Structure 1
Amino acid sequence: MYPKPVAKKVTKSLCESHMHRYVEVQAADGYCYDGIVEHVDDEWLCLAVPGMADQMRAFGPFYPYRPRRFNRLVLPLAGLAAISLLPYYW
């Protein structure tokens, strides 16, 4: 069974305390996401999630194309079950 979502106020304060840090977030449905906490409000958590750069697009019609290093992921606070800090190595 998946963990139950915690109260939004507690979740928001935890997310705010981890602002601009690399974290792992577990959703109530069991999925885990890792990324850097960008923004938190009363309803949503925004993560900057590391992404793979598509090398083939670099030589497409928009050359020189600069691929993104991070993609944005927006998750509802009500659907979070856990958040934890992860070590970040550059």
Structure 2
Amino acid sequence: MLRTDMKALCEAHMHRYVEVQDQNGVCYDGIVEYIDDHTLGLAVPGAIGEQRAFGPGFGPGFGPGFGPGFGPGFGPGFGPGFGPGFGPGPFPFRPRRFSRLVLPLYTLTALSLLPYY
């Protein structure tokens, strides 16, 4: 498909949930956010990269607990647990709902509309 035809097809589906396929057969789904002469911008649901800043949490670690014997127990330690952690800023951790994915327009071969569920 020509790039001008793909651009017109993407413009017709602006702000809709679509699935696009590239020349290698890889499929991406997301909401068409923007389109220009060379790129297509998709808002992809869920996080693509790691969005959490790992810090010392206060979750269930293997610290000095109240186990039997003289060894370390399995109590609520203060190690790097799976608690909220200390991320950047004063606000609690909140996962991203959408991430941006930019694809070159000349590599796209197909676009299909997907329903919302």
| Range into which the TM-score falls when normalised by the shorter chain | 0.7 to 0.9
Structure with higher RCO (Cα < 8 A, 6+ apart): 1
Quick check: 1:67 aligned with 2:89? Answer: no
Q: Which residue of 2 aligns with 1:47?
A: 42
Give SS of 1:82's match. strand
The one-letter code of the counterpart of 1:48 is A
Q: When the two structures are superposed, what TM-score results if normalisation uses the length of structure 1?
A: 0.83
> What letter corresponds to residue 44 of structure 2 in structure 1?
V
- Aligned mates of 2:47, 2:104 — CA distance in 1: 24
Q: Where has structure 1 moved over 3 Å in runs of 4 or more?
A: none
Secondary structure at the aligned position of 2:5 is classed as: helix
Distance in 1 (alpha carbons) for counterparts of 2:106 and 2:39 = 8
Which range moves more in the overlay, 77-86 or 60-69?
A: 60-69
Where does the alignment leave 5 or more consecutive residues of structure 1 unmatched? Answer: 1-5
1:34 counterpart (29, 34, 49) = 29
Where is the strand percentage greater, Structure 1 or Structure 2? 1
- When you count helix as a share of all residues, which structure comes out higher? 1
Query: What secondary structure does 1:59 align onto?
Result: coil
Identity %: 60
Q: How many corresponding residue pairs?
A: 83
Distance 2:42 2:85 in 1: 28
Q: Please give the TM-score of this superposition, normalised by the length of structure 2.
A: 0.65
